[in-house]
Amino acid sequence: MTDSYQGLPSGRYTVQAQESIIFGQPAEKAVVNEADRYGAKRVFVLSTRSLGQLENGPLQRVIAGLGPRHVGTFTSIQAHSPRQDVIAAAYSARKTRADLLVAVGGGSVIDASKAVLICLWLGLESTQAMEPFHSGVEAGIRLRIDPPDHPIRLITVSTTLSASEFTSMAGVTDTQTHAKQSFSHRLLVPRSVILDPAATLYTPNGLLFSTAIRSVDHAVESYCSPLANPATEALSLQGLRLLARALPKIMADPNDLRPRLEAQFGMWQSIAASAAGAGSGASHGIGYVLGATYGVAHGHTSCVMLPAVLRWNAAVNADRQADLSQAMGAPRQPAADLVANLVRNLGQPGSLRSVGIKREDFEEIAQRAMAYQPVRMNPRPINGPAEVKEILELAW
């Protein structure tokens, strides 16, 4: 009987512990409705300093909508979600006795807010206390994240297109080692996600479009992943199709909400495949090093690495890349060229030089990259730092 299964796709499709995705509604209205639905009485809001300085932006409207249920705000979360920001935010939330967190912002805010949940669940009060709980700790040392009964949860209002709100993983930077670390638990995924296209109107084009390329990266690498399957492939291609169509329209008419919502659907579909288990590849893995160690903006890592990784991988997956070209509307052109053209047309950096990386950095980048699972899961096997440097040369 077992022999009859040979050659069949085999794997696992992970369903996230997410209850609702609300789209095409004002964020302030949707947040209040979700707080009502969950019976929340004390809502703590997390965001960034830049959003906090607006006069009537999405953060201010959400706070106003919450009225007396709003018990506090933390707006000091920096890029790449440093551990110290997580601890500071958790301290502030703990003092308010919050029963619901709301994150308003992009990937760094949302990842940090997920990590704040862990600190609240487990009573962690220092950056050192977080150490035993991330995925990079040796098996004999790592401790399990074990939430209490009825744990505090998170809802999000997205202002970028990075899609952290659709995963149960929090990427947090240890500033002592300059390494990006992963904290995971199924209840870290936001209980509700609010996709209000108007909430992206205040996001600078550079940030919006760079995070959009991050979502393109999710779609491309999940489709090309060895773990892709018929259930994830459709999500990856639909996400790429929506993003490729919507982003030039946003560039042409920044005030039109329709393509912004279409791009939000695109980022959702793109990350859904990865979150289900399709995974990612070398563009993501090398990008973790560029971000955590060299301070390259989250979305820019995909802008500079994805075309190079596609070119390096083409020797083994040209057929898959042809499907990507079809989804982007130009089946006769190489997928790497299409992505590079999209990056350029959106005004984003397209090379390592343009984001401040020097050739003398290649050795450290290559060594550090091999520690990240996406590099080890690349569709064309990467056998060591020398081959990472081949990709870096293509991105130079």
> 164: helix, coil or strand?
helix
CA distance 266 to 263: 5
The CATH number given to whatever domain includes residue 158 is 3.40.50.1970
pLDDT per residue over 237-260, tens digit each? 999 999 999 999 999 999 999 999
**What pLDDT was estimated at residue 179?**
83
Q: Please indicate, yes or no, if residue 47 is contained in any of the structural domains.
A: yes
**What pLDDT was estimated at residue 4?**
82
335-349 average pLDDT score? 98
Both 263 and 365 in one domain: the answer is yes
- Asked whether residue 209 carries a pLDDT value surpassing 60, the answer given is yes
**What pLDDT was estimated at residue 243?**
98
Alpha helices (H) along the chain: 27-38, 49-52, 58-66, 83-96, 107-122, 127-130, 205-224, 230-252, 257-273, 282-294, 298-327, 335-345, 362-369, 373-376, 385-395
Q: Please indicate, yes or no, if residue 11 is contained in any of the structural domains.
A: no
Both 308 and 278 in one domain: the answer is yes
Of 149, 180, 198, which residue constitutes the final position of a domain? 198
- 59, 52 contact by CB (below 8 A): yes
44-72 average pLDDT score? 97
Both 115 and 64 in one domain: the answer is yes
Both 307 and 241 in one domain: the answer is yes
Q: Please indicate, yes or no, if residue 97 is contained in any of the structural domains.
A: yes
- Asked whether residue 1 carries a pLDDT value surpassing 60, the answer given is no
Both 45 and 134 in one domain: the answer is yes
pLDDT per residue over 46-58, tens digit each? 999 999 999 999 9
Which of the residue ranges 6-15, 94-103, 313-322 would you say has the lowest mean pLDDT? 6-15
The CATH number given to whatever domain includes residue 264 is 1.20.1090.10
- Asked whether residue 211 carries a pLDDT value surpassing 60, the answer given is yes
Q: The domain containing residue 142 runs over which residues? A: 20-198
Q: Please indicate, yes or no, if residue 194 is contained in any of the structural domains.
A: yes
* Mean pLDDT, rounded, of the chain: 96
Q: Please indicate, yes or no, if residue 10 is contained in any of the structural domains.
A: no
pLDDT per residue over 16-43, tens digit each? 999 999 999 999 999 999 999 999 999 9
Of 151, 175, 198, which residue constitutes the final position of a domain? 198
Both 208 and 328 in one domain: the answer is yes
Local confidence band at 5 (pLDDT 50, 70, 90 cut-offs): confident
**What pLDDT was estimated at residue 289?**
95
Q: Please indicate, yes or no, if residue 1 is contained in any of the structural domains.
A: no
Count up the domains in the chain and report the number: 2
Both 84 and 139 in one domain: the answer is yes
Q: Please indicate, yes or no, if residue 13 is contained in any of the structural domains.
A: no
CA atoms within 13 A on the CB side of 70: 19
pLDDT per residue over 286-327, tens digit each? 999 999 899 998 899 999 999 999 999 999 999 999 999 999
**What pLDDT was estimated at residue 2?**
61
**What pLDDT was estimated at residue 175?**
87
Of 161, 177, 198, which residue constitutes the final position of a domain? 198
99-109 average pLDDT score? 96
**What pLDDT was estimated at residue 100?**
98
Both 376 and 232 in one domain: the answer is yes
270-299 average pLDDT score? 94
Both 146 and 209 in one domain: the answer is no
92-110 average pLDDT score? 97
Both 181 and 253 in one domain: the answer is no
Per DSSP, what are the bridge partners of residue 154?
101
Both 35 and 169 in one domain: the answer is yes
Both 341 and 371 in one domain: the answer is yes
- Asked whether residue 340 carries a pLDDT value surpassing 90, the answer given is yes
Phi/psi of residue 70, each to 5°? -75, 115
pLDDT per residue over 152-196, tens digit each? 999 999 999 999 999 999 999 998 888 889 999 999 999 999 999
pLDDT per residue over 357-370, tens digit each? 999 999 999 999 99
